[in-house]
Each structure stands twice: as structure tokens, then as C-alpha cells.
Amino acid sequence: MAISLLNQVYVRPISVQDTPKVVNFKKELENETDYLVFNMKDSPNSFNKERNNIIQFTLFSNYLYLGAFVDDTLGGLLLFRGGKSPRNKHIGELGIGIKKEYWGHGIGKKLIAELFKWCVDNSIKKVTLKVRKDNTRAIALYQKLGFKCEAIKIGFIQGSSEPFEFLIMVKTFN
Ligand SMILES: CC(C)(COP(=O)(O)OP(=O)(O)OC[C@H]1O[C@@H](n2cnc3c(N)ncnc32)[C@H](O)[C@@H]1OP(=O)(O)O)[C@@H](O)C(=O)NCCC(=O)NCCS
């Protein structure tokens, strides 16, 4: 089952033509998970804002915005932004989200594997990410792909009753 779905998954960079799909995807994901670091309620999304966001990703050689499409449906997004200064342009931060109906089919792993290939080709030396300490599914995936915990951030984001702890995880390339 998982293998056959993954065979239908096509990973490619997001382009401005994908804007409506990305806007809908983000709205749906927001309702499906509480694990996103920043959510749409903090920063309401719109067609124009997302379109500009996608354009931003095309302007920097150390930015990457990937979509995983299941046939024509956008099933997952991966964002990577490298630093702006010459001193940190080789380091960047990863964000990822998969539509809930596709969790556990290997799409997250496939997107991150594409990012790693791109990092090697584009002289990126370190990928960082923030993950809620109780997001066991995501942490298991990151550890499997070689991420290590570098630090713990306490009170980084306020939940409905108490602040969440976040792990800072990193993957380095030679
Ligand atoms: C976390 C997330 C990106 C994982 O994507 P995914 O496509 O479901 O992950 P994959 O199917 O590629 O799973 C890869 C690995 O994750 C782990 N995993 C998958 N399902 C799991 C589960 N139910 N419990 C624990 N670990 C699990 C396994 O180690 C798995 O490897 P395996 O298939 O070799 O056993 C996805 O669940 C998601 O978008 N969650 C909501 C948003 C989110 O948490 N984003 C990350 C914020 S830091």
C-alpha cells in the first residue's frame, strides 16, 4: 500500500502556477496538525502573499521550495532558506508538512532526501530545524535521516495553556 502510493509521488520545485494549491494546502494542514512552528492564524495567508513568497524562493540560490504531488494533488511541502550573509549562506532552516491522509507513506523521507541531494550540489553545509519535543513522528523521521539534537529551546512558543519545548536539530554535510 505504502509502496504503491509512493510510486505515484512526484517531487518538483514549487512555481507561481502552484499558488492556489499551496494556499489551500497550508490552510488544510493548519487544521490537521498542531505541530507547525508558525501557523496561518499568526500570519493569515492569501493568494498574493503566497505568490510573493514563491517568487522569493526563486531569487536566492540557497532557497528551495519543493512540492510532493500525488498525481495532481499537492500532498507535501518542504521549504529551506539559507542565510543571507556570506558568512552564513551555507546554513539554512528546513520546514516540512505532509497532508494527514498521506502520513506514513514515505513522502516526508522522499522530500528530505531531495533536499539533501540539492544541499550537496549547492554547497550547503548545515540544515537546521525546530521541532516540538512531543512531535515523536517527526523526530523519529529526522533521527532516521541523520539529524542530531543540538539544543533545547524552552518556552519558545506559547501553547494554549503552557509553552512548548522545542528541539533544535541539525544535519551536517562535509
Ligand atoms: C512529520 C511528517 C513531516 C512526517 O512525514 P511522513 O511522510 O508521514 O513521514 P514518512 O512516511 O516519510 O516516515 C518516515 C519515518 O518517520 C517515522 N514515522 C512514520 N510514522 C510514524 C509514527 N506513526 N510514529 C513514529 N514514527 C513514525 C518512521 O521512522 C518512518 O520511517 P520508516 O517508514 O522507515 O519506518 C508528517 O507527519 C507531518 O507533516 N506532520 C505534521 C506537520 C509536522 O509535524 N511537521 C514537522 C514540523 S517540525
Q: Which atom of ligand 1 lies nearest, measured to the CA of 33?
A: 41
Query: Phi and psi for 37 in degrees, rounded to 5?
Result: -70, -45
Mean pLDDT for the chain? 92
> 26 in ligand 1 pocket by Cβ < 6 Å?
no
Give pTM, 2 decimals.
Answer: 0.94
d(CA 102, CA 109): 12
pLDDT tens track for 14-55:
999 999 999 999 999 999 998 887 655 555 578 999 999 999
Q: What is the per-residue pLDDT for 128?
A: 97
Low-confidence ranges of the chain (pLDDT < 50): 1
Q: Are strands 126-132 and 91-98 parallel, antiparallel or unpaired?
A: parallel
Q: What are the start-end ranges of the E strands in 5-87?
A: 9-13, 63-70, 73-82
Options 3.10.20.600, 3.40.50.510, 1.10.760.10, 3.40.630.30; CATH for 2-172 is 3.40.630.30
Output the pLDDT for position 155.
Answer: 81
Distance spanning both ends of the chain, measured CA to CA: 36
Domain ranges for the chain, please list them. Answer: 2-172
